[in-house]
Amino acid sequence: MYELLVIAAFVVTLAVVVLRPRRADAHCDTVEGPTAQDGLRALESGDLDHALKWITPEGEAELREVFELGLVVRELGPEAREVADRWFMENLVRIHRAGEGAAFTGLRPAGTPVEEKVAAADRSVDEGDLRPLAGLVPAERWPELERRFAKVLERRDHDVHDVDAGRSYIEAYVSFFKFAEGHDHAHAGHGHGH
């Protein structure tokens, strides 16, 4: 009976979030975005450290609780696993956005288009090379972009269990992405905004 109540609570929460109106807002708000993908890594491995880097210390206790419940529900079957995964990713992104001081409008589905600069910045980080952003960022911004990109690269290969190093990487990553998009400021909170 308890298991059915937990599943019902997940389904109701998911329905409220999914049926809410959305607007295209942030790279981290997509199922295929880096925040949700790190959330899936955490669920698959049973190791929350994969996702904690996206969360401020103030949000950590809440995310741990959601993670533990999600792991329990995942064991109840394929449908429950799907609901638990979505519920965890939604909460991970919501808590991440709250740490930015930014609104959360829901997790956008796979295939949601992202801005060309964001896709190019993703490729740059993946490839360790700024060339994908060539021509997309004005020349006068390039020196600062290079400086921010260097910070991303120097912090990228942190130990997944060193959450502070992971958070330092995310701070550099978000700063780089915001600048690549044309924003010079950081959001409230710990400066994560993208």
Across the strands, what pairs with 108? 30
User: Among 14-18, 27-31, 62-66, which stretch is predicted with the lowest mean pLDDT?
Assistant: 14-18
Task: List CB contacts of 40: < 8 A, sequence separation 6 or more.
Answer: 85, 89
- Quote the CA–CA distance of 5 and 69 in Å, as a whole number: 12
What Cα–Cα distance (Å) separates residue 130 from each residue in 122, 173, 193?
A: 10, 13, 20
CA geometry: angle 27, 56, 149, nearest 5 deg? 50
Q: What is the number of other CB atoms lying within 10 angstroms of the CB of residue 40? A: 16
- The enclosing H or E element of 82 equals helix 78-100
Q: Give the pLDDT confidence of 127-181 residue by residue, as tens digits.
A: 999 999 999 999 999 999 999 999 999 999 999 999 999 999 999 999 999 899 8
pTM, two decimal places: 0.78
Length of the chain: 194
Tokens in use for 142? 């390039």
Q: Give the pLDDT confidence of 116-125 residue by residue, as tens digits.
A: 898 899 999 9
- Quote the CA–CA distance of 21 and 117 in Å, as a whole number: 25
How is 87-153 classified by DSSP, letter by letter?
Answer: HHHHHHHHHHHHHHT-----PBPTT----HHHHHHHHHHHHT-SGGGTTTS-GGGHHHHHHHHHHHH
The CA radius of gyration of the chain, in Å to the nearest whole number, is 17
User: Among 40-54, 100-114, 134-148, 177-191, which stretch is predicted with the lowest mean pLDDT?
Assistant: 177-191
Give the amino acid at 1.
Answer: M
